[in-house]
Amino acid sequence: MRVAISNLVNSRSASLEQARLFVLAVIAALVISAPIPPLSGTAQAKTRLLRFDGRVILPPHTYSPKKRLVILLHGVDTPYSGRKWAGPDGRFRFSNLVPGIYSLAIYIPEDRQIVQTLDLTPSLADAKGRIQRNFVYDERTLESHLMNEPQSIVSARQLSIPAKARAEYMKALRRLERRDVDRAVEHLKRAVESAPQFVEALNHLGTIAFQRSDYAAAERHFRQALEQDPESYEPLVNLGGALLAQGRSREALAINLHAQNARPRDALANAQLGLSYFAVGDYEQAIGYLRATEELDPGHFSNPQITLAEIYIRRSDTDAARRELQAFLRLHPDSPHAAGVRAAVERIESGNTQSGPVIPPRAPL
């Protein structure tokens, strides 16, 4: 049985603030996904923090003027989880961000959301460390970007989660917003101790373990989540990423096929399926799914351009490889891979593709 969050709130006579926080917590759990690169040198204590000012502009009558957009920002290469209500004009702000890669989710009332990858790095900021970006959609582009899977519906399992466990989960999210990861993990563990069926908390523990390169622990958390709810999508697709990171390509292929069949328009599912096919040597299938990833989210943090370039190099199609690498550099000018990718482009342009690998090695997903 599935019921709307609004029904849950009304049945418990929760305050407006409690309802708001619970909605945000449930939505936030739906956005957190792997594969996530291991922590890198981008998240240093002395790094200058950034401010991100955004605005979402949607076609008229997309949702009721009495409702507001929820904006979720999740760290890809460093643990972070932030959530904001957009103003009536669609404006929102996140402050004190470590430079890096983030996954942005725009939650639109009436059960829809847009998810895409963002590079929030120094070269995109002004002298005061501010990054400004508008997200403008007309009716055609909105429909092409929407993920229409229900987001504001919770299951009977979620309804069974006690208030104590939900409170611990909310504390964990607040800790992550302040980048206090160790304390966030403590709260998440307490949430699971109180409610072993708390899939969202298990999934969050898994993503943090993945970010810390503890792939075995990540796999364990994702499998525990699926034991509690075999139909839950997030731990399923995340499990596919954990298996890929451990080099278990055949197992990953089966899981990622399942995930992509469940949500064909999810960039992450397409990326991981493409990477799985690449790992087992089926380049034709890999190309199809990696190109789909580029169409759905060109800047996706799985870097489909680099894997496509690797395939094209192996097929001696250096022109196609160069185009992919140049596209990567346009999208990710501050990436830790950028210097190696520029060198690879230079080697291709000079015709030097025979003496060793052209594409720079990468950290596992």
Rg, Å, the chain Cα set:
20
* Average pLDDT value for the chain: 83
The per-residue pLDDT for range 147-199, each reduced to its tens digit, is 655 444 556 666 778 899 999 999 999 999 998 999 999 999 999 999 999 99
The per-residue pLDDT for range 197-240, each reduced to its tens digit, is 999 999 999 999 999 999 999 999 999 999 999 999 999 999 99
Bond before 35 cis per omega within 30 degrees: yes
Given a cut of 90, is residue 98 above it in pLDDT? yes
Full-model pTM: 0.80
pLDDT at residue 5, rounded to an integer: 27
Q: Which residues have CB under 8 Å from 104's CB, separation 6+? A: 54, 71, 72, 73, 115, 116, 117, 118
pLDDT at residue 145, rounded to an integer: 77
The SS3 call for residue 348 is: helix
Q: Could you give phi then psi for residue 115, rounded to 5 degrees? A: -125, 135
pLDDT at residue 109, rounded to an integer: 82
What's the rounded Cα separation, in Å, for the pair 225 and 239?
A: 10
Q: What percent of the chain has pLDDT over 90?
A: 65
Q: Which residues have CB under 8 Å from 88's CB, separation 6+? A: 65, 68
The per-residue pLDDT for range 8-17, each reduced to its tens digit, is 223 333 333 3
pLDDT at residue 19, rounded to an integer: 37
Query: In the numeric block, which tokens belong to residue 302?
Result: 């799985």
pLDDT at residue 157, rounded to an integer: 66
pLDDT at residue 46, rounded to an integer: 62
Query: Helix axis angle, 283-296 relative to 267-279, nearest 10°?
Result: 160
CB atoms within 10 A of CB 167: 16
The per-residue pLDDT for range 236-271, each reduced to its tens digit, is 999 999 999 999 999 999 999 999 999 999 999 999
pLDDT at residue 42, rounded to an integer: 39
What residues does each domain of the chain span?
A: 1-234
Higher pLDDT, 355 or 56: 56
What's the rounded Cα separation, in Å, for the pair 129 and 150?
A: 36
For residue 292, give the nearest of 304, 307, 284, 309 by alpha carbon. Answer: 304
Query: In the numeric block, which tokens belong to residue 65?
Result: 């003027």
- Strand segments, DSSP code E, in 42-144 are 50-57, 70-75, 81-85, 91-97, 100-108, 112-120, 130-136
pLDDT at residue 156, rounded to an integer: 61
What's the rounded Cα separation, in Å, for the pair 238 and 216?
A: 12
Q: Could you give phi then psi for residue 106, rounded to 5 degrees? A: -105, 110
Q: Provide the CATH number for the domain formed by 1-234 in this structure.
A: 2.60.40.10
What's the rounded Cα separation, in Å, for the pair 245 and 263?
A: 21
